[in-house]
Amino acid sequence: MSRLVLVLGDQLTKSLSALREARKDADVVVMAEVEEEAEYVRHHPKKIALVFAAMRKFAATLRDDGWDVRYTELDDTTNAGSIVGELLRRAGETGAESVLATEPGEWRLIDKLRYAPIKTEVLSDDRFIASHAEFERWAKGRKALRMEYFYREIRRKTGLMMEGDEPAGGEWNFDKDNRKPPPKSIDHDGPPVFEPDEEVSAVLDLVEARFGDNFGDLRPFGFATTRRQALAVLRHFIEHALPRFGDYQDAMLDDHRWLYHAVISPYLNLGLLDPLEVCERAEKAWKDGDVPINAAEGFIRQIIGWREYVRGIYFLEGPDYPKRNGLGHDRDLPALYWGGETRMRCLEQAVRQTKEEAYAHHIQRLMVTGNFALLIGADPGQVHEWYLEVYADAYEWVESPNTVGMSQFADGGVIASKPYVSSGAYISRMSDYCKSCAYKVGDKTGEDACPFNLLYWHFLDRHRDRFEPNGRMANIYRNWDRMDDERKRTVLREARAFLDRLDAGETV
């Protein structure tokens, strides 16, 4: 009896556990573009186009390999509209009585498969370095689940950048050499751009017709849509950008949106690139003497450290995680997040880039859009939905720990030991945004004062009970207490006035 082998839109890997387990001569692969996945949030049109185009091309390579692939396009008249609906329809068509699947990256879909009215075997997704069991073992009994210690375990497990039992270069982490302010000039133009071929163009037309009203520009579209193209992006990054990746990891520049970042997260998360192969190539570049140790280690840590760690947290913490609201924040996310007018240059830049590219780098996400949302007390559920919608690399397993945990502190400190908040000084140090802003980053109060300067203290003051006992924040509260009372009152009054203007829908 044949089985159906489900391959989801972010499972585009030939060595996927379900494909490894299946029999080419007997089983039938099911892939489907469905409304339920395309509409559970209002995804950026570029993200939908990337997923559909990559799915279509992956299906073709499976057919070339001899698989019987039943592929449903979104506009097919027989499309059942959901993954489970499509499985049932294909079961009727083929006579298959069971489904073989690889665990989806989201509780929502895991539940749908669990309760599907057809026998379904779900295999673990071993495209990650740490299994759920390994992460649980590591987490068990620990007071705090800090990424750094998990990362060291994974270094030992993979042997990446290790010399015997010791970390290469004598240190686990070279961040002290990273995070320099922006350089005067950038000698890298960003990732390769792929002109849409006939197949990609057909997807773009479909997405324009069906999702053209979602936030974000569909064209120009230059993402890689095949493994071969994704590998070209990786090669280009390792050769041209990795050597300077560490140095300028946190920098932000008006005229250089890519800086020295890899822009490979969309491909890693779709399954077109494998995390271990990516790290091995970076390690080789360091061993060959082409890349300094701080760059190679810093890059590898993002992937085997942060990426694996946030996935571990998502599955460890359970389905309620994205709904947490540890600080009780409830302000609506302002219109500027969807391109509404703002005088704040840093936010305007981060949102414009997001709209055009479905991409912003980590510090733009964390210290500009995330920092502002946290300071104004935005509802973390809305913030979570925004991040899930607007980035091409956004899937709940990776997006929600970064947003709800790292950025909004809404998980009560599972991920972050203190909230990622800053005044304008940090943004000014790490970017050139403030130079062309209507506000003055040097002004702490007054009409032109940078809103981050006001909101920073307002946030700390209103959450004093929660954060004062945190030893890592004691100095900050001491600084606040040292300010004279009149100045403190002015800061808080002006911050409140700013929030009132925001709530009234005025341009800020």
29 binds ligand DLZ (CB under 6 A): no
Could you tell me which stretch among 78-86, 158-166, 258-266, 321-329 binds ligand FAD (CB under 6 A)? 258-266
The closest alpha carbon to 430, from 401, 459, 452, 408, belongs to 452
What is the number of helices (H) and of strands (E) in the chain? 24, 7
Q: Which helix (H) or strand (E) holds 217?
A: none
Q: 275-334: which residues touch ligand FAD (CB under 6 A)? A: 299, 302-303, 306-307, 310
Q: How far from 5 is each of 75, 101, 489, CA to CA, in Å?
A: 22, 6, 63
Question: Binder to ligand FAD among 28, 263, 415, 491 (CB under 6 A)?
Answer: 263
3-state secondary structure 402-441: HHHHHHCCCCCCCCCCCCCCCCHHHHHHHECHHHHCCCEC
- Rounded to whole angstroms, the Cα distance separating 459 from 329 reads 11
Nearer to ligand DLZ, 317 or 494 (CB): 317
453 binds ligand FAD (CB under 6 A): no
Question: Binder to ligand DLZ among 5, 9, 303, 508 (CB under 6 A)?
Answer: 9
385 binds ligand DLZ (CB under 6 A): no
Which residue, chain included where needed, has tokens 């005044």? 423
DSSP-based three-state secondary structure for 400: helix
**Minimum distance from residue 434 beta carbon to ligand SF4 (Å):** 3
375 binds ligand FAD (CB under 6 A): no
349 binds ligand FAD (CB under 6 A): no
428 binds ligand SF4 (CB under 6 A): yes
- Total of chain residues touching ligand FAD, rule CB under 6 A: 28
Could you tell me which stretch among 130-138, 259-267, 320-328, 458-466 binds ligand FAD (CB under 6 A)? 259-267
Question: Binder to ligand DLZ among 4, 16, 30, 32 (CB under 6 A)?
Answer: 32
- Total of chain residues touching ligand SF4, rule CB under 6 A: 14
Q: Which does 344 bind (CB under 5 to 8 A by kind): ligand SF4, ligand DLZ, ligand FAD, none?
A: ligand SF4
**Minimum distance from residue 506 beta carbon to ligand FAD (Å):** 26
- Rounded to whole angstroms, the Cα distance separating 8 from 283 reads 31
- DSSP class per residue in 458-485: HHHHHTHHHHTT-GGGHHHHHHHHHS-H
167 binds ligand SF4 (CB under 6 A): no
- Rounded to whole angstroms, the Cα distance separating 407 from 383 reads 10
346 binds ligand FAD (CB under 6 A): no
Question: Binder to ligand FAD among 34, 186, 268, 351 (CB under 6 A)?
Answer: 268
Could you tell me which stretch among 45-53, 114-122, 428-436, 459-467 binds ligand SF4 (CB under 6 A)? 428-436
- Rounded to whole angstroms, the Cα distance separating 50 from 376 reads 33
* 4-6 and 98-102 beta bridge pairing: parallel
439 binds ligand SF4 (CB under 6 A): yes
Nearer to ligand SF4, 264 or 437 (CB): 437
- Rounded to whole angstroms, the Cα distance separating 125 from 129 reads 10
**Minimum distance from residue 102 beta carbon to ligand SF4 (Å):** 43
Q: Taking the CA of residue 355 as centre, how many other CA atoms within 13 Å lie in the half-sphere pointing to its CB?
A: 15
271 binds ligand DLZ (CB under 6 A): no
8 Å CB contact between 6 and 87:
yes
Fill in the DSSP letter of residue 32: E
Mask: binding to ligand DLZ, 43-82, rule CB under 6 A, as x and -? x----x--x-------------------------------
**Minimum distance from residue 34 beta carbon to ligand DLZ (Å):** 5
**Minimum distance from residue 110 beta carbon to ligand DLZ (Å):** 8
Could you tell me which stretch among 7-15, 174-182, 437-445, 479-487 binds ligand SF4 (CB under 6 A)? 437-445
Q: Taking the CA of residue 152 as centre, how many other CA atoms within 13 Å lie in the half-sphere pointing to its CB?
A: 12
8 Å CB contact between 276 and 127:
no
**Minimum distance from residue 55 beta carbon to ligand DLZ (Å):** 7
DSSP-based three-state secondary structure for 75: coil
Q: How far from 1 is each of 18, 91, 96, 97, 350, CA to CA, in Å?
A: 17, 11, 7, 7, 53
Mask: binding to ligand SF4, 333-362, rule CB under 6 A, as x and -? -----------xxx----------------
Question: Binder to ligand SF4 among 174, 299, 452, 467 (CB under 6 A)?
Answer: 452
8 Å CB contact between 150 and 128:
no
Q: Report the first-to-last Cα separation within the chain, whole angstroms.
A: 63
Q: Which does 261 bind (CB under 5 to 8 A by kind): ligand SF4, ligand FAD, ligand DLZ, none?
A: ligand FAD
33 binds ligand DLZ (CB under 6 A): yes
Nearer to ligand FAD, 408 or 453 (CB): 408
Q: Which does 10 bind (CB under 5 to 8 A by kind): ligand DLZ, ligand FAD, ligand SF4, none?
A: ligand DLZ
8 Å CB contact between 29 and 5:
yes
- Rounded to whole angstroms, the Cα distance separating 275 from 269 reads 9
- List phi, psi (to 5°) of 50: -60, -45
DSSP-based three-state secondary structure for 196: coil
Residues near ligand DLZ (CB under 6 A) are: 8-10, 32-34, 37-38, 43, 48, 51, 83, 104-106, 109, 395
Residues near ligand SF4 (CB under 6 A) are: 344-346, 424, 427-428, 433-434, 437, 439, 441, 450-452
